[in-house]
Amino acid sequence: MRVSSAAISAEDLAKCFGDVVALDGVSLEVPRGSVLGLLGPNGAGKTTVVRILTTLLHPDRGRASVLGIGVAEDPARVRSMIGLAGQYAAVDENLTGRENLRLMGRLTHMEPRTIASRSDDLLGLFDLTEAANRPVRTYSGGMRRRIDLAAALVHQPPVLFLDEPTTGLDPRSRTDLWGVIEDLVRDGTTVLLTTQYLEEADRLADNMVIIDGGHVIAEGTAGALKARLGASIIEIGTHDPATATAVAGILDGMGRIELEGTTAALVVDDGSSVLMEVVRRLDAARVAPTTLALREPTLDDVFLTLTGHGAVAAAPDPPPTARRGGSGKAAP
């Protein structure tokens, strides 16, 4: 058996909660100092992957390691090297921001004299110095997320797990948080990030793994994933779905066509030359589109094509007990 040199490595992870199959053979590798975006709709199994890698949950099958240390073999070592922030890891609302950070410093067994200075540094970094002595329950949503992320960083973990770190944040707070994460990565931190925002993955992640229904359905860089889809998309907007269907018929044979409501989208390799042909055909058929656009594919298009639904769509959340793994076994 070989222990991976990657910062994070998972091999064939499987996990069931009762009858619900949360993961069915997920493998991934995150090289040191890089960012992996773990994408998937609600209920795809993203949080389950994070909980297994952070020693909170025992997989039914497969193995995982962080910095070469087996998550099942030596969970205490793994815990000393990771930081976890996001959806479910929280801070104490009745403690002040500063007290929360010091609590984390003490519980990660840092040198007592470094805890205070490290806490102050983080409060400054996250723009929370002014609010440092206020209980966290008085914080805004954005401040709460920042103190939550800061709490995960007190002991300077070389590997960071961020489970939907910006869900529910306004665009400004989100951009700010992205900046902080980019700084951490620049300093050598390895990050595994789950998100429903493809824009977030596009900006932060070096590599992406898309999971759906407990399986990996695609992986690669953002560019590679987009290239799989074709170089460009021509969108033809019409008055009604019937016309859009008619347009699909007119353009038959030119490339893959996707219908969505009153819009027909043609996925092609060379958009600009095909665009002229599209206009000629529509003109010949005497169909006047309301809009006509040529654009690059986005990760949303990739996602839609791969999963058959949008990133924030479809699959229901598993019940809270399953999320917390009420029926599961955790590492001792």
Partner 1 sequence: MTTTERTDAPPAPIAHAGGRPLADAITITWRNLVNLRRNPMLLVFATIQPVIFVLMFRYVFGGQINIPGIPYVDYLMPGIFIQTVTFGSLQTGVGLADDLNKGLIERFRSLPMTRSAVLVGRTMADLTRNLFVVTVMCLIGFAVDFRIHTNALAFLAAFGLILLFSFSLSWVFATLGLVIGDAESTQAASFPILAPLAFASSAFVQVSTMPGWLQVFAQHQPVTAAVNAVRALCLGGPTATKVLQALAWCVGLVAVFAPIAIRRYRRI
Which residues would be at the binding site for partner 1 (CB under 8 A)?
Answer: 1-5, 54-56, 67-69, 73-74, 76-77, 79-82, 84, 87-95, 99, 103-104, 106-110, 135, 151, 155-158, 321, 324-326, 328-330, 332
Q: Which is nearer to partner 1, 88 or 292 (CB)?
A: 88
Q: In the bound complex, what is the minimum distance in angstroms from residue 291's beta carbon to partner 1?
A: 44
**271-296 CB burial, b ≥16 within 10 A, e <16:** beebbeebeeebeeeeeebeeeeeee
Q: How far is the CB of 122 from partner 1 (least distance, A)?
A: 15
**What value, to the nearest 5°, has the Cα angle with vertex 199 and ends 204 and 264?**
145
DSSP letter string over 199-219? HHHHHH-SEEEEEETTEEEEE
Residue 80 vs 290, nearer CB to partner 1: 80
Which residue's CB is nearer to partner 1, number 30 or number 266?
30
Q: How far is the CB of 59 from partner 1 (least distance, A)?
A: 14
Q: Which is nearer to partner 1, 135 or 237 (CB)?
A: 135
Beta carbon of residue 117, minimum distance to partner 1 (angstroms, whole number): 15
C-beta of 107 vs 285, nearer to partner 1: 107
Give Cα 95 to chain centroid, integer Å.
29
Q: How many CB atoms lie within 10 A of CB 13?
A: 26
CB of 80 to partner 1, least distance (A): 4
CA distance 10 to 52: 9
Q: Please, how many CA atoms are within 13 Å of residue 32, restricted to the half-sphere of its CB?
A: 10
**Beta strands 232-237 and 263-268, pairing class:** antiparallel
What are the angstrom distances between the C-alpha of 125 and each of 122, 132, 135, 203, 296?
A: 5, 12, 19, 21, 36
Query: Which residue in the block uniquely carries the two structure tokens 């909660």?
Result: 17
Q: Residue 18 Cβ, how far from partner 1 at the closest point, in Å?
A: 15
CB of 51 to partner 1, least distance (A): 8
| 274's tokens | 């095909």
Nearer to partner 1, 103 or 254 (CB): 103
Minimum separation from the CB atom of position 87 to partner 1 (A): 8
Q: Which is nearer to partner 1, 230 or 328 (CB)?
A: 328
- Contact indicator for 47, 87 with CB cutoff of 8 Å: yes
CA 227, CA 327: separation in Å to the nearest integer?
Answer: 41
In the complex with partner 1, which residue's Cβ is closer, 54 or 232? 54
